[in-house]
Chain A
Amino acid sequence: TQLLEQSPQFLSIQEGENLTVYCNSSSVFSSLQWYRQEPGEGPVLLVTVVTGGEVKKLKRLTFQFGDARKDSSLHITAAQPGDTGLYLCAGVPTDSWGKLQFGAGTQVVVTP
Chain B
Amino acid sequence: KAGVTQTPRYLIKTRGQQVTLSCSPISGHRSVSWYQQTPGQGLQFLFEYFSETQRNKGNFPGRFSGRQFSNSRSEMNVSTLELGDSALYLCASSKSGTNTGELFFGEGSRLTVL
Contacts and interface: CB of A to CB of B under 8 A. Distances in A.
Contacts of B106: 42
B66 interface: no
Given A42-B92, A100-B33, A104-B42, A48 B102 contact: yes
Contacts of B97: 98
17 contacts: A31-B101, A35-B105, A41-B108, A42-B4, A42-B108, A43-B43, A45-B101, A45-B103, A90-B43, A91-B101, A92-B101, A98-B56, A100-B98, A101-B45, A102-B42, A103-B42, A105-B42
Of B33, B42, B102, chain A has the most CB atoms within 10 Å of the CB of B42
A45 B41 CA distance: 20
A97 B100 CA distance: 10
Given A98-B56, A98-B97, A99-B56, A44 B43 contact: no
A54 B97 CA distance: 23
Contact of A42 (B41, B55, B90, B102): B90
Contacts of A88: 42-43
Interface of A: 2, 31, 33, 35, 40-45, 48, 88, 90-92, 97-105
Interface residues of B, number: 26
Of B4, B43, B48, B107, chain A has the most CB atoms within 10 Å of the CB of B43
A2 B108 contact: no
Given A92-B98, A103-B42, A105-B42, A98 B105 contact: no
A98 B48 contact: yes
